[in-house]
Structure 1
């Protein structure tokens, strides 16, 4: 059986440890970016909901105006 060099194993383990640390840092950055994206999308959904509510109010107002001016189609 071949001899195992502890120094070689130590060097390999140090490189693996550095790689794992780099991966952890990258994952941390990705989590931050994902959170920012989620927050941005939430803001867009809230904005879209507000716009839809305003459009619904405008639609109701337009219906009332049309009825008042007798501009509606006879159904």
Structure 2
């Protein structure tokens, strides 16, 4: 024998499902916000690394020029 399923029982179940979906939506929004923050941090790190490589490249160029002028390497002086 099947138990009678009333409209009230269905309504209560749908309210519970809706409540859980609302919580999931809230968590997804939190995760999206955190992911966007991580993306920003990642881009910032990439820019910093790019800047460091640029600075190192300039120092490398200057060091090579100094070595040439002091005749510390095998390259001909310019």
Structure 1 length as normaliser, TM-score? 0.92
Q: How far apart are the structure 1 equivalents of 2:44 and 2:56?
A: 18
Structure 2 residue runs without a partner (length 5+): none
Structure 1 spans left out of the alignment, 5+ residues: none
RMSD of aligned Cα (Å): 1.3
Equivalent pairs, count: 74
Distance in 1 (alpha carbons) for counterparts of 2:40 and 2:5: 52
Q: Which residue of 1 aligns with 2:59?
A: 58
Structure 1 stretches of 4+ with a deviation exceeding 6 A read none
Alignment correspondent of 2:21:
20
Q: Which has the higher contact order (CA 8 A, sep 6+)?
A: 2
